[in-house]
């Protein structure tokens, strides 16, 4: 089993690196890295910068033996020979919503921590966190079943909310993909939700999920007719976000089961993502089962 002291080191290191990620954004506003990532997506210079900063810092932590990123084909062995194979693996989306940089909208970083080796099921995550680069930089962390939100200022992390829970009354929804590409059952479900909640969709999962955590409601990037497994990646987006939302009293689903129970088969596997207020997740599963 891993040394769980190192989990604190991972969380603190993410907080310490976040300001450097933010500082690197202005100079990389419109620059592409000219490469594609394992998901076949265009990689921006900001993606590469964030990935390298987190690789450097997280790979140097005693007790972290594996580093995997949305931007890298395979997990990297970062054991320094002392920890051997026993140790923590970190799965990271270094810059989530990086296409929002050109339009100066919110972006984030998503991190999952598990015993090595990856890929890991969400149930095996020992911690999950996201950083939100919004008007201020915040970090939301799920550990041992509870969620804490921190403000990050100059690399210092200050807890501002403990035992975070989704509000009882849901208010917002945000659904990704193009409407004509939604399967009929999701389309019908979306029509119902639209008549009940307010639309909040910003195009970066972390920003949209943080709205759901703050106000209650549902975020989904569903299965599409053109992409039956949706767009988001289980290891780097779906599982860590589900860990946080479920620890905050919400629910998650791939359409049939909790995202935490989805069998990990490939480091970059995609999964339909629905997270938020349990009532809306249950209604979604019923709509898709019909
Ligand atoms: P990333 O920038 O890490 O590749 O993630 C982008 C994802 C996610 O942040 C967001 O929910 C989704 O892409 C938005 O997709 P659309 O642009 O299709 O709405
Ligand atoms: Mn990407
Ligand atoms: Mn992402
Ligand atoms: Mn990303």
The verdict on whether residue 195 carries a ligand-binding annotation is no
CB of 174 shorter than 6 A to ligand 1: no
The verdict on whether residue 103 carries a ligand-binding annotation is no
**Architecture of the domain defined by 172-289:** 3-Layer(aba) Sandwich (3.40)
Minimal-distance CA residue to ligand 1 atom 6: 97
Task: Give the largest CA-CA distance in the chain.
Answer: 57
Buried b (16+ CB within 10 A) or exposed e, 207-242: bbbbbbbbbbbbbbbbbbeeeeebbbbbbbbbbbbb
Separation of alpha carbons 156 and 61, rounded Å: 18
- Helices and strands of the chain, counted as H and E runs: 6, 15
Write out the chain's pLDDT in tens, 290 residues. Answer: 556 789 999 999 999 999 999 999 999 988 877 888 999 998 999 999 999 999 999 999 999 999 999 999 999 999 976 545 689 999 999 999 999 999 999 999 999 999 999 999 999 999 999 999 999 999 999 999 999 999 999 768 999 999 999 999 999 999 999 999 999 999 999 999 999 999 999 999 999 999 999 999 999 999 999 999 999 999 999 999 999 999 999 999 999 999 999 999 999 999 999 999 999 999 999 999 98
CB of 213 shorter than 6 A to ligand 1: no
The verdict on whether residue 32 carries a ligand-binding annotation is no
Tell how far CA 274 is from the center of its chain: 12
Structure-token match 């979604």, residue found: 284
| Whole-complex ipTM | 0.98
**Domain residue limits, the chain:** 4-161, 172-289
The model scores a pTM over 0.90: yes
Residue 149 alpha carbon to ligand 4 centre in Å: 21
Instruction: For a ligand 1 pocket test, name from 47, 208, 232 the mutation site with the most ligand atoms within 8 angstroms of its C-beta.
Output: 232
Pick the CATH number of 4-161 from 3.30.540.10, 3.20.20.70, 2.40.30.10, 3.40.640.10: 3.30.540.10
CB of 97 shorter than 6 A to ligand 1: yes
CB of 41 shorter than 6 A to ligand 1: yes
The verdict on whether residue 27 carries a ligand-binding annotation is no
């Amino acid at each position: 089993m891993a040394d769980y002291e190192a989990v604190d080191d991972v969380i603190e290191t993410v907080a310490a690196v976040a300001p450097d990620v933010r500082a690197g954004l202005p100079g990389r506003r419109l620059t592409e890295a000219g490469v594609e990532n394992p998901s076949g997506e265009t990689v921006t210079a900001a993606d590469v910068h964030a990935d390298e900063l987190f690789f450097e810092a997280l790979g140097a932590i005693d007790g972290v033996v594996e580093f995997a990123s949305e931007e890298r084909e395979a997990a990297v062995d970062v054991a320094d020979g002392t920890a051997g194979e026993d140790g923590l693996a970190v799965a990271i989306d270094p810059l989530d919503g990086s296409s929002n940089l050109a339009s100066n909208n919110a972006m984030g970083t998503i991190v999952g921590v598990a015993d090595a080796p990856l890929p890991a099921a969400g149930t095996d995550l020992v911690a999950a966190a996201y950083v939100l680069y919004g008007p201020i930089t915040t970090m939301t962390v799920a550990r041992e079943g509870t969620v804490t939100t921190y403000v990050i200022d100059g690399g210092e992390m200050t807890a501002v909310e403990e035992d975070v829970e989704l509000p009882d009354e849901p208010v917002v929804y945000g659904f990704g993909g193009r409407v004509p590409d939604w399967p009929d059952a999701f389309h019908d479900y979306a029509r119902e939700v639209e008549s009940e909640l307010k639309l909040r969709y910003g195009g970066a999962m972390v920003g949209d999920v943080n709205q759901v955590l703050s106000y209650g409601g549902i975020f989904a990037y569903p299965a599409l007719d053109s992409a039956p497994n949706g767009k988001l990646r289980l290891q780097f987006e779906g599982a860590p976000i589900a860990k946080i939302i479920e620890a905050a009293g919400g629910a998650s689903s791939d359409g049939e089961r909790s995202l935490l129970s989805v069998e990990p088969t490939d480091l970059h596997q995609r999964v339909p993502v629905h997270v938020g207020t349990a009532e809306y997740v249950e209604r979604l599963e019923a709509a898709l089962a019909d």
